[in-house]
Amino acid sequence: MKPITFSREETDAITAKLRVYFRDELETDLAALPAEMLLDFLSREIGPFFYNRGLYDAQAVMTAKVEDIAEAIYGLERG
């Protein structure tokens, strides 16, 4: 699987949120470089779980829509 990567703007936004979380919830000052290292770790090790969940959710939506279409087509049958 291709690694999850973020643009510089996304990385900055995510690491800012990590730093605020560490400050507010853990009372720990997380510098910029360790925050980026943590983001890299989370992206590499935990990100695939979130990515896969998104795929499963998208698949469920698509399956429901296909079933709706099949029912609509069945309703058009003549006979």
User: How many domains, in total, are found in the chain?
Assistant: 2
* Domain co-membership, 59 together with 33: no
Mean pLDDT (whole number) for 53-79: 94
* Domain co-membership, 55 together with 38: no
* Domain co-membership, 52 together with 39: no
Single pTM value for the model: 0.77
pLDDT at 17 over 90: yes
How big, in percent rounded to 5, are the helix, strand and coil portions of the chain?
80, 0, 20
pLDDT of residue 64: 97
* Domain co-membership, 13 together with 40: yes
Q: Which residue range(s) make up the domain with 30?
A: 1-45
- Give 2's pLDDT tier (boundaries 50, 70, 90): confident
* Domain co-membership, 4 together with 16: yes
pLDDT of residue 3: 86
3-state secondary structure of 6: coil
Give residue-wise pLDDT tens across range 34-60. Answer: 999 999 999 999 999 999 999 999 999
